[in-house]
Amino acid sequence: MRILVVNVNTTQAITDSIGRQAAAVAAPDTEIVPVTPPFGAESVEGYYESHLAAVAVLEAVRTHAEPFDAVIQAGYGEHGREALQELVEVPVVDITEASASTAQFLGRSYSVVTSLDRTVPLIEDRLATAGLTARCASVRASGLAVLDLDRDPDAAVEAIAEQALRAVREDHAEVICLGCGGMAGLADRVLERTGAPVVDGVTAAVTTAESLVRLGLRTSKVRSYAPVRPKRFTNWPPRAG
């Protein structure tokens, strides 16, 4: 089984980190293929960057040379999952939905701890679109920019754990979701501080994708995600040079 794990930003170090985290939980017969999009922002923290990232991820998947069995969109709260499902027949798993769905098996309510406050509305919108808000206690911002996570992991854990503790104590969350692909690998350290189960979206998405592939399930094409209709696209896809 081959799974594409597509970062939504162009920072290779984040792609590498996401790839390592995905590979750590993948089954022995699963090949994880980390992918960095061909264009876009170094970090995605707002609507403009998110919409641009959606196009970049689509292009990365559309032009991928080797066959694959599933796609993971490794951006929390980002746009584009539905378009990916139109593009391919294999399962497409968004880390936002994978982590929130997994959290609901572990406790009555969950909270998401993300990066900057400006990303909170994107995550709330994504959860609402997916029908996952009923048991969401809160979406909290750690105040960290995405690129800060790599620069000072100790400070990142402290900021994330503080908001996770407040989510448990003040919002009555029973499970914490790490609301950023760049937080991959921090779950154990946040668990130590909070005592609540901590779900990493990347690892949850890998095991979800593997299950769908092993069950022989594919994206439905009967209505919402029917293939793109044949038509002329002006100056798209862009030509090199």
Query: What pLDDT, on the 0 to 100 scale, is given for residue 133?
Result: 97
Please say whether the beta carbons of 117 and 141 come within 8 A.
Answer: yes
Residue 141 pLDDT grade (very low, low, confident, very high; cuts 50, 70, 90): very high
Q: Hey, is 33 helix, strand or coil?
A: strand
Determine the Cα–Cα distance for residues 185 and 169; give it in Å rounded to an integer: 24
Residue 241: is its pLDDT beyond 60?
no
Q: At 11, which amino acid appears?
A: T
Please say whether the beta carbons of 75 and 40 come within 8 A.
Answer: no
CATH number corresponding to 2-94+203-214: 3.40.50.12500
For residue 237, cis peptide bond before it (omega within 30 degrees of 0) = yes
Residue 240 pLDDT grade (very low, low, confident, very high; cuts 50, 70, 90): low
Query: What pLDDT, on the 0 to 100 scale, is given for residue 22?
Result: 96
Domains 2-94+203-214 and 96-201 are alike in CATH topology: yes
Phi, psi of 156 (to 5 degrees): -65, -45
Query: What pLDDT, on the 0 to 100 scale, is given for residue 156?
Result: 83
Report the greatest alpha carbon distance in the chain.
55
Domain ranges of the chain: 2-94+203-214, 96-201
Q: Work out whether the CA dihedral 122, 199, 25, 142 comes out positive or negative.
A: positive
Q: Which of 137, 161, 180, 171 is nearest to 11 (CA)?
A: 180
* Pairing outcome for strands 31-35 and 175-178: unpaired
5 DSSP β-pair partners: 34, 72
CA distances from 114 to 68, 77, 177, 189 (A): 30, 10, 9, 15
Question: What architecture is the 96-201 domain classified under in CATH?
Answer: 3-Layer(aba) Sandwich (3.40)
Q: Which pTM value belongs to this model?
A: 0.94
Residues 189-233 have pLDDT tens digits of 888 888 999 999 999 999 999 999 999 999 999 999 999 999 999
Q: Which structure tokens are listed for 142?
A: 């750690």
Choose the weakest-confidence range: 22-26, 129-133, 204-208, 231-235.
Answer: 231-235
